[in-house]
């Protein structure tokens, strides 16, 4: 459905994306995962015909993003990273406006947005600027969907949204996927990556790896040890000073440890920490998550 071949793009002298190639199949929920500045937005804008690539080709449903931009603008739904609806128009007015702009009506495609829109419908007379963050996202999604697009592109839709709304939002995306809509979504949150069918890990304008989330973690060859103690700060410092330590990162309440050559055993680490007077020590081997993979790829 979306084919990207050797796309590069620079702003002045900074290269935003470098020689990216991707293939996204019809009906897929595809995630672009990467930190701020990885080039996710630039790539999406090129696909949305908002920017011209410096080199390379990209096609959306067989339409070229440079030549056939008019056709593409009929078949895509786009939700930019920033809330981009009219804050001084009400929920209802925004939705009606975007429906008319795309030459349709709210009634015609109400089915598609019902699950999302019914949650904000009680506030339909309220101005969009006065909605909560989660409701704004739902309205923006409704507006992006109102013309029943074939391809939906969402740029960091859950940034700045509370945990409950984030979960709901992803559930909605899963439902939309079943309605034969190809979805390309970007996110800086690794925990959302596992909800995608395929993910591309991006960093500094390059794609580090493309695969399904489970395959990405499965094929990760390294052994990850998770550790915890009462004094986290001390724990990180001590682990970093451990002679066989290769990478040590804080992950929420835990520290993820990778040893040189993976030959560090949990008992070895346990003993080392006990000697340094750590209390309530927990050391265990775990399956790597996407974050571990990402951190590892970034190191290279």
Among 6, 25, 55, 87, binds another protein (CB under 8 A): 87
Among 3, 97, 231, 234, binds another protein (CB under 8 A): 97
Choose the stretch contacting another protein; rule: CB under 8 A; options: 26-34, 83-91, 182-190, 283-291: 83-91
55 binds another protein (CB under 8 A): no
* Nearest approach, Cβ of residue 74 and another protein (Å): 5
Choose the stretch contacting another protein; rule: CB under 8 A; options: 31-39, 42-50, 218-226, 266-274: 42-50
88 binds another protein (CB under 8 A): yes
What's the CA gap between 182 and 185, in Å, rounded?
10
For CA atoms 11, 17, 19, 24, the dihedral sign is negative
Choose the stretch contacting another protein; rule: CB under 8 A; options: 54-62, 98-106, 158-166, 230-238: 98-106
Q: Which is nearer to another protein, 52 or 260 (CB)?
A: 52
* Nearest approach, Cβ of residue 196 and another protein (Å): 22
What are φ and ψ of residue 219, in 5° steps? -80, 0
Binders of another protein: how many residues, by CB under 8 A? 30
Q: Which two tokens stand for residue 182?
A: 């190809």
Among 45, 136, 138, 166, binds another protein (CB under 8 A): 45
Q: Name residues contacting another protein, limited to 128-147 (CB under 8 A).
A: 143
83 binds another protein (CB under 8 A): yes
Q: Which is nearer to another protein, 101 or 298 (CB)?
A: 101
245 binds another protein (CB under 8 A): no
Rule CB under 8 A: which residues touch another protein? 45, 48-52, 69-70, 73-74, 76, 78, 80, 82-89, 93, 96-98, 100-103, 143
């Amino acid at each position: 459905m979306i084919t990207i071949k050797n796309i590069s793009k620079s702003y002045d002298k900074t290269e935003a994306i470098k020689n990216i190639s991707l293939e996204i199949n019809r009906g897929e929920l595809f995630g672009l995962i990467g930190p701020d500045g990885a080039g996710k937005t630039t790539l999406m804008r090129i696909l949305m015909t908002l920017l011209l690539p410096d080199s390379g080709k990209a096609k959306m449903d067989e339409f070229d993003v440079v030549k056939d931009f008019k056709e593409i603008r009929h078949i895509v739904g786009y939700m930019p990273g920033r809330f981009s609806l009219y804050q001084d128009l009400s929920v209802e007015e925004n939705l009606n406006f975007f429906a008319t702009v795309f030459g349709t009506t709210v009634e015609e495609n109400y089915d598609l947005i019902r699950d999302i829109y019914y949650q904000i419908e009680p506030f339909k007379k309220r101005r969009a600027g006065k909605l909560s963050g989660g409701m704004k996202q739902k309205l923006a999604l409704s507006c992006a969907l109102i013309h029943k697009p074939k391809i939906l592109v969402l740029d960091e839709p859950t940034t700045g949204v509370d945990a409950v709304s984030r979960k709901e939002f992803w559930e909605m995306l899963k439902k939309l996927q079943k309605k034969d809509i190809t979805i390309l979504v970007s996110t800086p949150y690794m925990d959302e990556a596992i909800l995608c069918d395929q993910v591309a890990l991006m960093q500094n304008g390059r794609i580090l790896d493309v695969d399904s989330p489970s395959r990405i973690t499965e094929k990760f060859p390294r052994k990850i040890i998770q550790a915890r103690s009462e004094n986290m700060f001390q724990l990180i410092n001590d682990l970093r000073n451990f002679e066989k330590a290769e990478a040590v990162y804080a992950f929420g309440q835990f520290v993820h440890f990778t040893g040189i050559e993976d030959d560090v055993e949990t008992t070895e680490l346990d003993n080392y920490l006990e000697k340094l007077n750590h209390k309530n020590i927990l050391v265990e081997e775990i399956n790597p998550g996407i974050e571990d993979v990402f951190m590892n790829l970034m190191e290279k």
